[in-house]
Amino acid sequence: MMNETKTLYLMRHGETLFNVENKIQGWCDSPLTDRGIQQGLAAHEFFQSIELDHAYSSTAERASDTLELAIDARLPYQRLKDLREMGFGTFEGESERLNPKSPKEYQSFFVPYGGESSNAVGERMLKTLTGIMSLEDRHVVLAVSHAGACFNFLRMLQDPTEELAKGFTNGMIFKYQFTAQQFHLEEVIRPQI
């Protein structure tokens, strides 16, 4: 069916040690905190009544650990590098105080330091998620990724200002409809944990 409507749940991983310590993570990793584990378990409750047919996570352990909590081994999943966070180059592991102050400043700030541009991340996410959702047997999919990756994906689709103002919290879930090769944001679920 060419115009079948499919559903993508794009989730940000649970809270990590670096989130608590206000450190830039990017492609480096840190473990889920107790709160991050609780966020993964809250996602498990949310997805209990949803018939997922495929699941994906970035290659970062914080994302795959969150996904494993959310789906509780009810289906296999695949880890994909292209779902990983924005690369921040030599800023990774450093204080978030060093981050640019606005999304516009992020666009190419990290490139001279070995990182990625915001557009590169958004395009990577759009290509990867479109590829996943275009497969015939993908109807209701969960993908666990990262704040910067989720933000830049949304930025490829619409002005993200309103959602950014509400916060890109750990464990949040973006529900997208996918029809005729286009994504449409239906709702954002922000668990209160």
Question: What's the number of CA atoms in the CB half-sphere (13 Å) around residue 76?
Answer: 1
Query: Counting every residue, how long is the chain?
Result: 193
**Catalytic: 13?**
yes
Q: What is the dihedral of CA 8, 30, 68, 148, to 10 degrees?
A: 0
Q: Determine which one of 44, 45, 54, 85 is catalytic.
A: 85
Residue of 13, 92, 116, 146 with catalytic role:
13
Taking the CA atoms of 120, 121, 123 and 124 in sequence, report the sign of the dihedral they define: positive
| Strand order through the sheet with 173-179 | 78-79, 54-57, 140-145, 6-12, 173-179, 182-189
Rg (C-alpha) for the chain, rounded Å, is 16
Q: Distance from first CA to last CA of the chain, Å, rounded?
A: 39
* 21 is a catalytic site residue: no
Q: Supply the DSSP string of 66-128, one letter for each residue.
A: HHHHHHTTSS--EE-GGGSPPP-GGGTTSBGGGS-SSHHHHHHHTGGGT---HHHHHHHHHHH
Active site amino acids? 13, 85
